[in-house]
Amino acid sequence: MIEYFNKFRIVNVKLIFIVSLLFIITGMVMGCSNNQFSQPNVGSSHNPIKKEEPGVSFFGEELMPITEVEGSFSEVAGWLTDDTILYITNLHKGSNLYTYHLSSGVSSLFYQSDVPVVSADISPLRDKVFIHAAPTSYQAEVIVVDINGETLSQAKIDSFELAYEWNFENEEEVLLSAFNEDWSFNTYVLNIPKSSLTEVPLPEPFIVWPKAKEMLYLKWDENGLNLNAPLIKRNLENKKEATLMNSVHHIDSSKEYILAISTSEQDSKESIYSIMNTDFEKISEFEVYHLTAFSSWLVPFYDFIDREEKIIYLHPVRSGEADLYDEGFVLTEYSFETKKGKQLLNDLENEPISCSPNGTLCLYGYQFEKLIDLKEKEIINLVEQ
């Protein structure tokens, strides 16, 4: 395994992974120290409106920001329902998770942890929450709770860093990629009802798991510096593999759709976003400008809205180098049914985005500390301390 990671391609991936983590941490620190919006440019009808105080456009009622928390606000974990989110606060020794009802402004304690919580992730069906806690720097504690905060499963695993992926077809399983300090890794499947960890050797740590017995991964050349790699489908039972696409630089999935991003053969300044269903059949694709970052392509943030058969994504207004680009990002929605895109907001920062199941509101920011009303084209502070 160590020899495998000594290959230059993997060293490059490690560098990107480490730098990405540093960017995320930096963004979170900046969010903690300055929770104000950057002022958008004025003049476009798509420009977001900075709201000094919450308005009445959210559910027909005034939205009350989260103001009183025990400890310090860490981040919003995501959407439990169309109008209820889950957020994390850090205490002196542990962490608390709270639900927050947007239309009533009521926070309720959801789960208490005696050790710091690194992150939490809501299952695709939104009936479970995966919690990653860290008792020490070299050990992870993983807890899965139900919608009422009752523990369903709990296990500990040695790791310096942890990545995880839900089994989208069978949400009783979660894939864990446990990294050592030298960035070698081991992969396990957590069986939630049994609270058991089973090691499952895989060629790559970052896997997409759209079907119970089939995973997708990018087969990077260990000896090269290729910017793209074959997209491989791997059967977990018989270990057979098949190539779905020859040249891809990013993959992801929701419960209903798979995203594969590649470089356009006709215009190297653009990326092609290919959308597949869970039977791996391509149903749509579109092109966007992209930016170079280090020895790879920058993939701006996006989110699927399965219920509306859409993807919402940020993209630059031109191609170029990411570290020199300063012209803002456009928030656009693309319909898989109509095969058409619609610009929603201009002049945004490239920050994480997560939309409510009905696609009317989106969490935004490195801590999801802001909220976008897509209908009213408004952005407000969700958290005030």
CB of 253 closer than 8 Å to CB of 208: yes
Three-state DSSP state, 349: coil
Structural domains counted in the chain: 1
* pLDDT for the residue 45: 28
C-alpha closest to that of 197 among 147, 141, 276: 141
Within-domain flag for 305: yes
Alpha-carbon gap, residue 331 to 206, rounded angstroms = 26
What is the rounded CA–CA span in Å between residue 294 and residue 249? 14
Tell me, yes or no, whether 243 lies in a domain: yes
Look at residue 49 and tell me if it is in a domain.
Answer: no
Residue 181 lies in a domain: no
Query: Hey, how many other C-beta atoms are within 10 angstroms of the C-beta on 375?
Result: 12
Q: Does 107 map to a domain?
A: no
Is residue 132 within 8 A of residue 174, CB to CB? The reply is no
Domain extent for 295? 1-34+208-350
Q: What is the CA radius of gyration of the chain?
A: 21
Select from 257, 332, 269 the least CA-distant residue to 301: 332
- With respect to residue 212, please indicate whether it lies within any of the assigned structural domains: yes
Q: Does residue 245 fall inside a structural domain?
A: yes
Phi, psi of 31 (to 5 degrees): -65, -35
Listed as ranges, residues in the chain with pLDDT below 70 are 1-62, 224, 385
For the stretch 103-162, pLDDT in tens is 888 999 999 999 999 999 999 999 999 999 999 999 999 999 999 999 999 999 999 999
Kindly state whether residue 356 falls inside one of the protein's structural domains.
no
